[in-house]
Amino acid sequence: MTDLDAAAQTPTQTNDALFSDVRFESFGMTEALLLGVQDLAYQQPTAVQQQVFGPVFDGRDVIVQSQTGSGKTAAFCLPVLSRLDASVKKVQALCLAPTRELALHVATEAARLARHTGLRVAPIYGGASIQAQIDALRAGVHFVVGTPGRVLDMYRRGHLKTEALRFAILDEADEMLSMGFWEEVTGILDLLPTPRQTLLFSATLPPSIETAA
């Protein structure tokens, strides 16, 4: 995995000034995805969004240290959604999150950004109807966001098929480590096809995560 310390902290006033002339239109996204950005009323990309879009869009693996509130969800959603093919009705991106709340947040933001693109997003997590999630996967989903336990369960049952997968994203990797999910997470990554892009986002980078990366 290529190291990219995209944002060490929430952007300061100085950082905002450095990136004040950058607009989402300069990213080279499709008009459909830009419409999703407008729907969410995003006025200007944050520092982490500006620094991450190009490397991810260009096919690089990244490790990003970025605090909550810095805009990291859109930082990985925008370049990943830009690279997915709506005509291929298979899972092309998988994002792992430590909690159902975060999985729902990421899936909701990704779905709203993708609203005009024809791309479908589905959250899968424990504590909710597994049949509804199975039905969503069967209907054809491009981007799955889920908690490690439910993702592994769906994979083992044969409902989550990953032969077309191109992106694996770990969100809040340090939380997954502290909550005891790291073995499940690395086990899932071992099951996924290669080559693929792997994106790791974390508020902190403990030695164990850097070693695993």
> How would you write the pLDDT of the chain (213 residues) with one tens digit per residue?
344 444 433 333 334 444 668 999 999 999 999 999 999 999 999 999 999 999 999 999 999 998 888 999 999 999 999 999 999 999 999 999 999 999 999 999 999 999 999 999 999 999 999 999 999 999 999 999 999 999 999 999 999 999 999 999 999 999 999 999 989 999 999 999 999 999 999 999 988 888 777
Per-residue tokens: 181: 């999910």
The whole-model pTM stands at: 0.90
In the prediction, which pLDDT does 37 show? 97
What is residue 5's three-state secondary structure?
coil
Q: How far apart are CA 53 and CA 211, in angstroms?
A: 24
CB of 28 closer than 8 Å to CB of 78: no
Per-residue tokens: 136: 């969503």
DSSP code at position 65: E
In the prediction, which pLDDT does 19 show? 62
Q: How far apart are CA 138 and CA 204, in angstroms?
A: 36
Using alpha carbons, list the distances in angstroms from residue 3 to 45, 60, 61: 22, 10, 8
In the prediction, which pLDDT does 16 show? 45
Residues whose CB is less than 8 angstroms from the CB of residue 131 and which lie 6 or more positions away in sequence, other chains included: none
Residue 142's CB is within 10 A of a number of other CB atoms, namely: 25
